[in-house]
Chains A and B, each alone.
Chain A
């Protein structure tokens, strides 16, 4: 066991579904994840960036055992998740938690927020029953929800407050790893910053590791140390945040970074615009999946899929042109 054993490690993870299919139609194979390699170390924050439909959420669900990978393995602290029993999973739930995109859908509309946090403590038998209410109140206070707000039903809270409640509920279990799937996409821009700051603060206070999934690069820059860029089920670039965002190598990353709205747009430089739309996952392009839209594609790109290789500055990138 090496000193820097990662908390979470995905090794060559692939996920495929069969779609459609009935008496008359043949089913098609949908490859959602293809050979994904990712690692999150203890206490570190990794951002996962990509367009809608690239497989980010499926990856998160695979980590949570909501999907079984069709190839590869997912390890938590070295332990293969596929070999975990239901009892193991109960323990695992306390280590790895998940924040959804839509806070209103994540909360039971008929229970008060405070009760929902208490319930989580009760189900996992955390602490003596008499103290649970106080613990729940403390968790909610730590995210900025005072007792008066905590006694409300979800629909009576604002979007930002709800998401804080969801965070409080997840943190009540004191997890080591928090997977956030677009946690602020449904919120107003001004509130987004608040919640992201809250996450950063909680991270510092508890030594929490984060897997922050988003399509918003500026938020990732603010919160994470490392970032992985995903396109159509594959990781195309991975490395430290400053490296990737200040000096993007992969053509897709370059286009994403160029598309970030700036306060003072650089004059004279036309933004690199990607042509076309993401192809359907039912019929992915051969070779490099990005090549039909890539401004720098060559013949080799259509024939052979590039592997994620180490670059001189330490990052990983998958492109034949580098």
Chain B
């Protein structure tokens, strides 16, 4: 249900948009609400990890090694989700891992979106060799699976948190660039952008106040696709020991360390795995739902 734009925004129309109508108009399904709730929890944990965690995530206590969660035999409320092989509290590490993974994912997504959109605009505006360069870069990145690219960069340049976030940023940029360039080119061709140019509107204003709002919905949809993908990439790399390095902890990190203890202390790996799964699932489902709201005509098959 879209808002009725054919009527001017008179007071009578504005009154009709009460909260309940708004929620129905937004089309919140039970599953969308469930996803939003989980994600809110995750976000809350990420922001408040410092205060929620009973222990320092690095605190080693060798007397309390490999304690199971509280509902199993041998578990205590002291470490209600158990401890790992160095006696570190799993619950505290989980909280901080969520914070770390989310931080990296958000930063990476933002960097990718800004970088990609800007380059897309530049390519469409200047054409010529700038566009050729950007298109070549897009093709080059699309030619290799990103995992390999990331590993290569880490191999050559050593691993630091800043570099890693930069890599996550580069993960998504090419899709934004491709979308922005394509849609800007079509807008510039025979459309309002050309008219505005003829009317004397300066190019920057055309891009920021006209083109960008018009392609925003497609970009947002892309955002919902790339954000979970960045989380998945980060956790995979951290799992391999090549992402976020100790003493920093991340969800992938924890699973990586816990893999060797699957027989004896499965909770070390399973609990962060569950968090990863639930979070990316919530993001994917929410993304689908958001796509439906923004434009039911968009093609929903996942593109590589």
Contact = CB atoms under 8 A, between A and B. Distances in A.
Given A152-B5, A153-B5, A156-B5, A105 B191 contact: yes
B217 to A, nearest CB: 10
Interface of A: 64, 66, 89-90, 93-94, 97-98, 100, 102, 105-111, 119-120, 123-124, 148, 151-153, 155-156, 166, 169-170, 173
Contacts of B195: 98, 100, 105-107, 166
Contact of B190 (A97, A100, A120): A100
B202 interface: yes
Contacts of B192: 105-109
Give the most central of B8, B192, B202: most A CB within 10 Å: B192
A85 to B, nearest CB: 14
B191 A106 contact: yes
25 contacts: A64-B198, A66-B198, A90-B200, A97-B198, A97-B199, A98-B195, A98-B198, A100-B194, A102-B190, A105-B190, A106-B191, A106-B195, A108-B210, A108-B214, A120-B200, A123-B199, A123-B200, A123-B202, A123-B205, A148-B8, A166-B195, A169-B199, A170-B199, A173-B199, A173-B200
B54 interface: no
Contact of B6 (A90, A105, A152, A170): A152
Given A108-B192, A151-B8, A152-B6, A119 B198 contact: no
B27 interface: no
B201 interface: yes
A153 B2 CA distance: 14
The size bracket of the interface on B is 10 to 19
Interface in B207-221: 210, 213-214
B126 to A, nearest CB: 16
Contacts of A166: 195
Contact of B213 (A90, A102, A110, A156): A110
Interface in B94-119: none
Closest 5 CB pairs of A and B: A93-B200, A151-B8, A106-B195, A156-B6, A105-B191
A152 B5 CA distance: 7
Contacts of A119: 201
Given A110-B214, A123-B202, 20 more contacts: A64-B198, A66-B198, A97-B199, A98-B195, A100-B194, A105-B191, A105-B192, A108-B210, A108-B214, A110-B213, A120-B199, A120-B201, A123-B200, A124-B200, A148-B8, A151-B9, A152-B6, A152-B8, A169-B199, A173-B199
Contacts of A153: 5
Given A105-B192, A106-B192, A93 B198 contact: yes
Nearest to A114: B8
A94 B199 CA distance: 8
Contacts of B8: 148, 151-152
A319 B214 CA distance: 50
Contacts of A109: 192, 214
B201 A123 contact: yes
A64 B194 CA distance: 11
Contacts of A93: 198-200
Nearest to A93: B200
Contacts of B6: 152, 156
A139 to B, nearest CB: 13
A303 B194 CA distance: 41
Contacts of B202: 123
A66 B194 CA distance: 9
Nearest to B193: A108
Interface string B8-32: 1100000000000000000000000
Nearest to A157: B6
B276 to A, nearest CB: 38
A277 B191 CA distance: 29
B37 to A, nearest CB: 32
Nearest to A91: B200
B2 to A, nearest CB: 11
Contacts of B200: 89-90, 93-94, 120, 123-124, 173
Contacts of B5: 152-153, 155-156
A119 B210 CA distance: 11
A151 B5 CA distance: 10
Contacts of B196: 108
Contacts of A155: 5
Contacts of B201: 119-120, 123
Give the most central of B6, B8, B190, B200: most A CB within 10 Å: B200
Contacts of A90: 200
A94 B200 CA distance: 8
Interface in B73-95: none
A5 to B, nearest CB: 24
A45 B200 CA distance: 24
Interface string B221-260: 0000000000000000000000000000000000000000
Interface string B28-71: 00000000000000000000000000000000000000000000
Contacts of B205: 123
A151 B6 CA distance: 9
Contacts of B213: 110
Contacts of B190: 100, 102, 105
A240 to B, nearest CB: 30
A201 B185 CA distance: 36
A89 B202 CA distance: 11
Nearest to B189: A105
Nearest to B9: A151
A108 B215 CA distance: 12
A169 to B, nearest CB: 7
Nearest to B190: A105
A212 to B, nearest CB: 17
